[in-house]
Amino acid sequence: MRLSRYFLPVLKETPSDAQIVSHRLMLRAGMIRQQAAGIYSWLPLGYRVLRNIERIVHEEQQRAGHIPVLMPTVQPADLWQESGRYNAYGPEMLRIRDRHDRDMLYGPTNEEMITDIFRTHVSSYRDLPLTLYHIQWKFRDEVRPRFGVMRGREFLMKDGYTFDVSKEAALHAYNRHLVSYLRTYERMGLQAIPMRADSGPIGGDNTHEFLVLADTGESEVFYDSEITDLRFGDRDIDYDDPAQCRAVLEEFTSRYARTDETHDPEAFARIPTERQRTARGIEVGQIFYFGTKYSEPMGAMVQTADGIQVPVHMGSHGIGVSRLAGALIEANHDDRGIVWPEEVAPFPCGIVNLRQGDGNCDSVCEAIHGQLSARGLEPLYDDTDERAGAKFASMDLIGLPWRITVGPRGLKSGTVEVTSRRTGDSEEMSPEAAVARIADIYGRG
């Protein structure tokens, strides 16, 4: 992509209304534009990041055996009247009336709709287990939308729903989700810690929230510092094996880690003092087994192997896809801008031409651009007439993991410079070696 033909409206000034660093950087880097409180357009750079996050979520969901669907954003109110949540949901629900005076709403979540789909088409244990998920926009009329996409009113969520014939089977689905979430966040270069959460009026302790530690997080969290040493890594887990999934869950949830809602000061005090940590965290996901809360009132029944009709056991499992764009920046930035992890970066690398219009510089940049693109690694090539300092500042701000700098002085000895955004380390090498280096980093060598 040539910057001269791209749409990257970076801001020189720091927006005064943005309180946290990720919001400021998303605005300055031209990733988003606020259209109303808590409602954003995703500009090209932001949209590329959002798509990368979505892609990873899709891949990891499907690796775990979950099936993608797409439900609408606008829902009829009568489904919510059946479950009893139409009145219970309160002012967070955006209610709409259509031209025929029918009550509709912009979905804040999809338990009712998925239960309706299920009861229409499934009636036997033979069709279970089943997990359906989608990635779709939600609307919640939050009292205080703030922090940019972190607490929006319209936001993108992955929500998945599990259907099982028994509680035992449903708990395997729960554990499987926990494992797949660990893997999803780690792939994005994020550490998200599962913490015991509050199940609210439904009760039970089968719910965990995943939190990214950050000073700007909205939740207060308490944990045993040993938990931050755990890594899922590249383990090969059989998602269909309940024992394997349970072992991972036990490993990652046996140490104390709770949000303020479930915090137990006495249990916390029993951790050795030097390991007690109090911090703030950003909730990037939640898993929840709630049994028959929706299947019972909505009549989603299945026949068991013994021929008995039982309400299906359900769980719902969410990932904050658009919030993750902000959370990733909170966890990956420095005073010059964003530092994208490679898996989610909007472009794998940038090319800076230090003397646009110089025949030699231009043709080397074009060659690098073409060769990387041919390998499926389309770089962002700054082919504008800006000064070198301004080009470097923009590249640092938008945070591409690697930069290839091409200038007349280096080319005299046949070299260009490859620089890591994260460490700032630079290395000189031939243009061919630079292409090979980037391709190698991204596994396209």
Residue 383: CB minimum distance to ligand ATP, A = 36
- Complex with ligand ATP: residue 79 or 400, whichever CB lies closer: 79
Single out the residue of 180, 286, 353, 371 in contact with ligand ATP (rule: CB under 6 A). Answer: 286
Residue 379's binding partner out of Mg ion, ligand ATP, none, with CB under 5 to 8 Å set by partner kind = none
Residue 110's binding partner out of Mg ion, ligand ATP, none, with CB under 5 to 8 Å set by partner kind = none
Residue 313's binding partner out of ligand ATP, Mg ion, none, with CB under 5 to 8 Å set by partner kind = none
Q: Does 61 bind Mg ion (CB under 5 A)?
A: no
CB under 6 A: which stretch of 42-50, 95-103, 149-157, 198-206 binds ligand ATP?
149-157
Single out the residue of 18, 32, 157, 398 in contact with ligand ATP (rule: CB under 6 A). Answer: 157
Q: Does 286 bind Mg ion (CB under 5 A)?
A: yes
Alpha-carbon gap, residue 150 to 95, rounded angstroms: 23
Q: Does 24 bind ligand ATP (CB under 6 A)?
A: no
Residue 14: CB minimum distance to ligand ATP, A = 23
Q: Does 52 bind Mg ion (CB under 5 A)?
A: no
CB under 5 A: which stretch of 176-184, 218-226, 283-291, 422-430 binds Mg ion?
283-291
Single out the residue of 142, 224, 296, 378 in contact with ligand ATP (rule: CB under 6 A). Answer: 142
Residue 190: CB minimum distance to ligand ATP, A = 12
CB under 6 A: which stretch of 3-11, 150-158, 349-357, 426-434 binds ligand ATP?
150-158
- Complex with ligand ATP: residue 128 or 188, whichever CB lies closer: 188
Q: Does 107 bind ligand ATP (CB under 6 A)?
A: no
- Complex with Mg ion: residue 83 or 286, whichever CB lies closer: 286
Q: Does 318 bind ligand ATP (CB under 6 A)?
A: yes
> Which spans of this chain sit near ligand ATP (rule: CB under 6 A)?
109, 140, 142, 151-152, 155, 157, 283-286, 318, 320, 322-323
> Which spans of this chain sit near Mg ion (rule: CB under 5 A)?
286
